Amino acid sequence: MSKLHSVQTEHAPAAIGPYSQAVVHANVAYCSGQIALDPGSGKLIEGDVRAQTDRVLKNLAAVLAAAGSGLDRVLKTTIFLADMADFAVVNEVYAQHFGASRPARATVAVRTLPRNALVEIDCIAAVGS
């Protein structure tokens, strides 16, 4: 049976609760949801949903890199939006980061997110070659 391996990188915000940035098991990385926290300060960045989505995806990419994966290896994402009216903008930024890669995805509207963020994204990705 494969061991669980917790992922921690200083290139993404530290967890703000009792969880790991990601856990790897059997060559699959399960990444916790990322909001638009600055990795250095741990504070929510200023800006609109476009800026927040960009920061979220940079944070996810850093966690994936630490896990031995990348955005091109993502199998599934879940996007949580504070306002579904932001869907088109989030979709545009998401497409820029994922390029030709098209993971499976779900998008849901939620009442609030941690630190009153506008967007949160988690993912599951393949690890290794």
- pLDDT value, residue 16: 85
Residue 102 has pLDDT above 80, yes or no: yes
Q: What percent of the chain has pLDDT over 90?
A: 94
Q: What are 15-57's pLDDT values in tens digits?
A: 988 999 999 999 999 999 999 999 999 999 999 999 999 999 9
- CA separation for the pair 129, 115 (Å, rounded): 36
Any idea where the domains of the chain sit in the sequence?
Answer: 5-126
Cβ–Cβ under 8 Å, residues 79 and 42: no
Q: What percent of the chain has pLDDT over 70?
A: 98
* pTM for this predicted structure: 0.96
pLDDT band at 128 (very low <50, low <70, confident <90, very high): confident
CATH architecture assignment, domain 5-126: 2-Layer Sandwich (3.30)
- pLDDT value, residue 1: 64
95: tokens are: 């497409």
User: Position 86: which residue type?
Assistant: D
Cβ–Cβ under 8 Å, residues 9 and 65: yes
Average pLDDT estimate for 86-112: 97
Residue 2 has pLDDT above 80, yes or no: no
Average pLDDT estimate for 81-101: 97
- CA separation for the pair 110, 116 (Å, rounded): 11
Report the sign of the C-alpha dihedral through residues 40, 83, 77, 48, in that order: negative
